[in-house]
Amino acid sequence: MDITETKHDQYSIFKLNGRLDSNTATGFEQKLFECIEDGTQRLILDFQDLDYISSAGLRVILKATKNLKSAEGKLVLCSMQDYVKEVFEISGFDSFLPIEATLDDAIKSV
Amino acid sequence: MGTLSFALKNRLSELDVLCDRLRQFCQASGVSKRQTFEINLALDELFTNIISHGFKDDDEHHVHVTCANQDDVLKITIEDDGIPFNPTAAPHPNLKCAFKDRDIGGLGIHLIRSYMDRIEYTRKAGKNVLVLTKTLRAV
């Protein structure tokens, strides 16, 4: 999986490309938490090119969301494939995570 | 009817092999991209569970997977020689609790239950044998 991080003044965007599973989740977790520990509190995860996610990926997203909420921060997801979105719905993650249709919408909401 | 059998070693990097084999099998059997994703996810969650919790030694083990498609009913058998574990008896996660109480425990098995029609577990000759069944829909 490739992860591209783009820093902006008020937020950072992580664009994921490939498969987020128990094999790749650790690397993703490290990158995400490096950014949070550097003081970024508003994050967007762009899933446009994400082909796959398992509960190992959901675990990292849950952990990051809890961390950011306790610091008044925010995590917004966007541009998911239908079948990826369904995994969030089945897991009940759509009840506490903002999932936007496009990156533009995510930037407005973050 | 198409069948495919393969073995995976007990390491997480084998998830890529699982994905490749499954993709080949599903393409040859005319399974849609979406259902291929669902089957891959169920097997991934199961395999990751086995690798993470199933083995108490540092030896190499093999997880055997057999996929069979008969009249658009897909039957997948997974066998491992790890410690006895019956996923069908695992508790259901609480998906409705307050956000602060949410945790990830049980979510993998919840996803397997959601995407498969039937899950049957037996412990046979020192092995966990799990049979997953999914009816394939035309798209």
What is the H or E stretch that residue B47 is in? Answer: helix B33-53
Set of chain A residues whose Cβ sits within 8 Å of the Cβ of B48? 21-22, 54, 56
**A108: in domain:** no
ipTM here? 0.93
Answer for the pair B132, B76: CB distance below 8 angstroms, yes or no: yes
**A35: in domain:** yes
**A106: in domain:** no
**A63: in domain:** yes
Domain that holds residue A45: 2-101
**A62: in domain:** yes
**A15: in domain:** yes
CA–CA separation, B101 and A65 (whole Å) = 13
Cα A52 to Cα B1, B54, B55, B105, B120: the distances in Å are 28, 24, 26, 20, 26
Task: Give the domains, in start order, of chain B with CATH numbers.
Answer: 2-135 (3.30.565.10)
| Nearest CA-CA distance, residue B108 and chain A, Å | 6
**A39: in domain:** yes
Instruction: Mutation target for A interface from B22, B39, B44, B101: give the one with most A CBs within 10 A.
Output: B44
| Number of structural domains in chain A | 1
What is the H or E stretch that residue A109 is in? Answer: helix A103-109
CATH number at residue A34: 3.30.750.24
CA–CA separation, B70 and B63 (whole Å) = 23
Q: What is the pLDDT along chain B (139 residues), one digit of tens a residue?
A: 689 999 999 999 999 999 999 999 999 999 999 999 999 999 999 999 999 999 999 999 999 999 999 999 999 999 999 999 999 999 889 988 888 888 888 899 999 999 999 999 999 999 999 999 999 987 6
Q: How many CB atoms lie within 10 A of CB B48?
A: 21
Instruction: Mutation target for B interface from A24, A28, A55, A74: give the one with most B CBs within 10 A.
Output: A55
**A47: in domain:** yes
DSSP code of residue A80: -
